[in-house]
């Protein structure tokens, strides 16, 4: 037996403009939990770069709204929430979604998330 399920894959993070000098130290949260980078606390990102993410969220429901937060780490002050990527899990893609800016923390940052929704079969036991 198997059943069709869908998963959402975060493919790339495009940075067009950073908030801070030279680079931002970014990480991504989903439902209050850091999902990227996986092996360290944050990742330096410079302008005009594409960073591979390769993060899978699964399973998700068709039509589910998924909010991914983009945060910037700071040494001397609380981390800054730059904004959110607001995704809807419709199978297909790749899609590109602009960061909805949190203007309390940034006016300069410009990021785009590239992502897709794929189907897979999950074996189920009887």
Indicate whether 19 belongs to the interface with Ca ion (CB under 5 A): no
| Segment interacting with Ca ion (CB under 5 A) among 7-15, 31-39, 59-67, 76-84 | 76-84
d(CA 91, CA 77): 40
Indicate whether 25 belongs to the interface with Ca ion (CB under 5 A): yes
Return the residue of 18, 45, 80, 115 that touches Ca ion, per CB under 5 A: 80
Return the residue of 69, 72, 82, 87 that touches Ca ion, per CB under 5 A: 72
Query: Which is nearer to Ca ion, 22 or 38 (by Cβ)?
Result: 22
Inter-residue contact 71 to 81 (CB < 8 Å): yes
d(CA 18, CA 73): 13
d(CA 119, CA 105): 36
Return the residue of 21, 77, 124, 125 that touches Ca ion, per CB under 5 A: 77
In angstroms, what is the minimal distance from the CB of 24 to Ca ion?
6
Radius of gyration of the chain (CA): 16
d(CA 51, CA 76): 26
Inter-residue contact 34 to 28 (CB < 8 Å): yes
Query: Which is nearer to Ca ion, 77 or 124 (by Cβ)?
Result: 77
Binding-site ranges for Ca ion (CB under 5 A): 25, 72, 74, 77, 80
């Amino acid at each position: 037996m198997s059943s069709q399920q869908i998963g959402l894959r975060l493919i790339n993070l495009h940075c067009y403009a950073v908030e801070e000098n030279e680079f931002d130290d970014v990480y991504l949260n989903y439902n209050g939990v850091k999902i990227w980078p996986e092996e360290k606390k944050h990742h330096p990102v410079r302008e005009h770069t594409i960073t591979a993410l390769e993060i899978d969220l699964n399973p998700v429901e068709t039509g589910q709204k998924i909010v991914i937060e983009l945060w910037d780490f700071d040494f001397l002050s609380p981390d800054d929430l730059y904004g959110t990527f607001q995704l809807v899990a419709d199978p297909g893609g790749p899609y590109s979604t602009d960061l909805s800016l949190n203007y309390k923390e940034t006016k300069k940052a410009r990021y785009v998330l590239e992502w897709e929704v794929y189907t897979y079969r999950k074996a189920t036991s009887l």
